[in-house]
Amino acid sequence: MSVPSQSQRSWPIGLLALLAVASVLYILMLINASSQPSGGGESGIAVALEALYLTAALWVVLVCMLIVGGAGGTMPRWAGWLAGILVPASAVANITAVDMCSRHMPWAIVILLLLAPLLALYALWARLPWLKAKLPAERISGGGQCSCCRWRAS
């Protein structure tokens, strides 16, 4: 039985479905974070729990995307192990940013705007061969050396 080559592989339907779910959760999380009520009470607690649930659901979907992208593609092994540490840390950073937005620190929305799309893009990169051809692993995974390290090595 022959193994299909990279160019003969089918579209990653599962990864694209996860991306659609993550996109909906991401938009809902951004809406929730940008429209936090200023008062406390029961409505404030309900909104905070909603934000926590949306963020947790989004990060579960992003972890699934990274697993599908890594298993179906060719993610560097060290990047997979490092993701086991950095993805939960980014989830905590996202929850903290949602809390900061609720405390009227509008600049924290930048964290919300960048973290989830960055993880989704990495999962897509790991799975899609044409994207991998345009962006090599050394550049996207941060495994390449900086110019000062290359200078010292020579």
Give the range among 6-15, 61-70, 115-124, 125-134 with minimum mean pLDDT: 6-15
DSSP 103: T
The pLDDT of residue 148: 46
Q: Domain count of the chain?
A: 1
5 within some domain: no
Residue 41 pLDDT class (50, 70, 90 cuts):
low
Residue with tokens 């193994």: 3
Angle ∠(80,86,88) on CA atoms, nearest 5 = 110
The pLDDT of residue 153: 42
125 within some domain: yes
117 within some domain: yes
> How many residues appear in the chain?
154
Catalogue the long-range contacts made by 45-52 (C-beta closer than 8 Å, 24 or more residues apart). Answer: 47/102, 48/99, 48/102, 51/95, 51/98, 51/102, 52/95, 52/98
Distances (CA, A) of 145 to 109, 138, 141, 152: 31, 8, 11, 11
1 within some domain: no
Q: Pick from 38-42, 58-62, 78-82, 119-123 the range whose average pLDDT is largest.
A: 58-62
3 within some domain: no
Helical H segments across 35-136, by residue range = 41-72, 77-102, 109-127, 129-134
126 within some domain: yes
108 within some domain: yes
DSSP 35: T
Range of the domain at 106: 12-153
Helix (H, G, I), strand (E, B) or coil at 88: helix
48 within some domain: yes
Residue 125 pLDDT class (50, 70, 90 cuts):
confident
| Between residues 45 and 52, the one the model is more confident about | 52
Q: Are 128 and 16 in contact (CB under 8 A)?
A: no
> Given a cut of 80, is residue 38 above it in pLDDT?
no
* Predicted confidence (pLDDT) per residue in 60-103, tens digit: 999 998 888 888 767 777 777 888 888 889 889 988 888 888 78
